[in-house]
Structure 1
């Protein structure tokens, strides 16, 4: 019996050490899941903050703003791992960094889809009266207008597309099921729940673009109905002049509302990360 005491004591010691080790492992894994969730929430938030800066831009004055913001977003996201990671990198952390890179790349593409055509619309070539009769110039103008229609659709479903992309990238990642679940919950709690669709009107944008298209088509289809005098249009066809003047008046009246749409794609609600 006495010989069994040391063995029992050893077994008890091993059990206690095992329990401590298991507890330590569980706490470490919980901390790691918390860090990966925090990284991904910050990553998604950076993309939304970039969108807010883009939708606050005056595209008629700063048409090159998109490229600047894309670089700033990529730099801000690249700095996140060093800011958030406590300790040494671990396997799931590397997986989370990979997911963050994909989400950011998709945000850059989506922002380009939404805003790049505004850059083209603001380009001098769109309003160069010397090319109003040129069929090739008309094709280029119509391509820009069609890109803007696609841009409007993307802007109207921005938050829905973002939520879908977040879920898809998490599901396709090498993160554990527990880490995916916690990351999605954190992204929703800290970020997505605090944003809502803005007052972007796809219908209003389409109406404005339809008037622009009619304006450009009429001029290109009636090259003998007008000429240029001192850089201004001089009409030989009274009916054409009346149509163009009516369209131009409607375009000018809708100009401010058209650009205002691009400033209200997403709206922010209270809570979540700071907007800075």
Structure 2
């Protein structure tokens, strides 16, 4: 019996060591899962902060803001991993890095889709009345309006597209179920419960674009029906004058509202 005591003691030590090792492993995995969720949530938040910066921009006075903000977003996201303090990379961490990289590319692409057309809409040269008879300028106007319609659709569904994009990236990257569950929880709390769709009105934006298209198309279709005198349009036909005057008045009244709408895509 006495010979069994050392064996029993050894078994107890082994069990205790095993339990301690399992506890340490559990704590390590919890830490890694938290680091993974934190990094992805911060990446998503950086994209939204970039959107807010673009929303606030005056596209007439600062058309280069889009390119500048694109570079800033890349730099901010690239600096995030160093703030987490991961000493040794692990599988979930690599998955999180991949998600961040793809998400940054997609966010910048979405921001270009939404805001690049505004740089065209804010250019005064293509909307000048002395270009009303120019087919070349009319082609530019048609392209600008078409792209802005696409931008309005993208702006209207921005948060829905962001949520779907994040989900798709998480689904296609090798992130453990535990880290994924924690990431989903933190994203919901820090992002999707905090940010919500703004007062952006796709209907009013599209209405303005329709009137703008109709106004310039009316002038393009009737090049002999008017002339430019002292910076103002002079019409030879009363009916044409009335149609153009009604459309132009609506455009002047709606211009401020049109550009203001792009400041209201997302709010918190």
Aligned residues: 268
User: Which deviations, in whole Å up to 9, do the C-alpha atoms of 1:212-266 show, x marking residues without a partner?
Assistant: 0011101111111123445554433343233222211110100111111101111
1:181-220 → structure 2 map (5 Å cutoff): 181-220=181-220
Structure-1 separation of matches of 2:37 and 2:226: 63
Q: Which aligned pairs between 1:36-75 and structure 2 lie closer than 5 A?
A: 36-75=36-75
Alpha-carbon separation, structure 1, partners of 2:90 and 2:243 = 67
TM-score normalised to the size of structure 2? Answer: 0.94
Q: Where in structure 1 are there 5+ consecutive unaligned residues?
A: 269-276
Q: Distance in 2 between matches of 1:237 and 1:96?
A: 65
Deviations 1:89-126 (A, max 9, x none): 22221210110111111111111111110011112442
2:29 counterpart SS class = helix
1:105 has 2:92 as partner: no
1:222 maps to 222
- Alignment match, 1:19: 19
- 1:64 to 1:237, Cα distance in 2 relative to 1, 3 A: farther
Listed as ranges, the matches of 1:139-218 within 5 Å are 139-218=139-218
> Aligned residue for 1:241?
241
User: Equivalents in 1 of 2:192, 2:49: separation in Å?
Assistant: 12
**Partner secondary structure for residue 191 of structure 1:** helix
User: Is 1:250 aligned with 2:250?
Assistant: yes
Q: Tell me how large the CA RMSD over aligned residues is.
A: 1.6
| Cα distance in 1, alignment partners of residues 71 and 110 from structure 2 | 14
Helix, strand or coil: the match of 1:174? coil
Alignment of 1:125-144 (within 5 A): 125-144=125-144
Report the equivalent of 2:260: 260
Question: What is the rounded CA distance, in whole Å, between the counterparts of 1:182 and 1:106 in structure 2?
Answer: 23
| 1:11-63 CA-partner distances (Å, limit 9, x unpaired) | 22111111111100000000010011111111111111111111111122222
Aligned position for 2:92: 92
Is 2:30 the partner of 1:30? yes
User: Which moves more between the two structures, 101-110 or 23-32?
Assistant: 101-110
Q: Distance in 2 between matches of 1:175 and 1:58?
A: 40
Answer with 121-130 or 181-190: which moved more: 121-130
Q: Which moved more, 1:146-155 or 1:230-239?
A: 230-239
The separation in 2 between residues aligned to 1:255 and 1:232, in whole angstroms, is 18
CA distance in 2, matches of 1:61, 1:211: 24
In structure 1, what is the Cα distance between the partners aligned to 2:265 and 2:217?
29
Unaligned 5+ runs, structure 2: none
Give the whole-Å Cα distance in 1 for the aligned partners of 2:144 and 2:244: 20
**Displacement after TM superposition at 1:190 (Å):** 1.5
Conserved? CA contact 2:228–2:234, under 8 Å:
yes
The equivalent residue for 1:271 is none
Separation (CA, whole Å) in 2 of partners of 1:120 and 1:180: 41
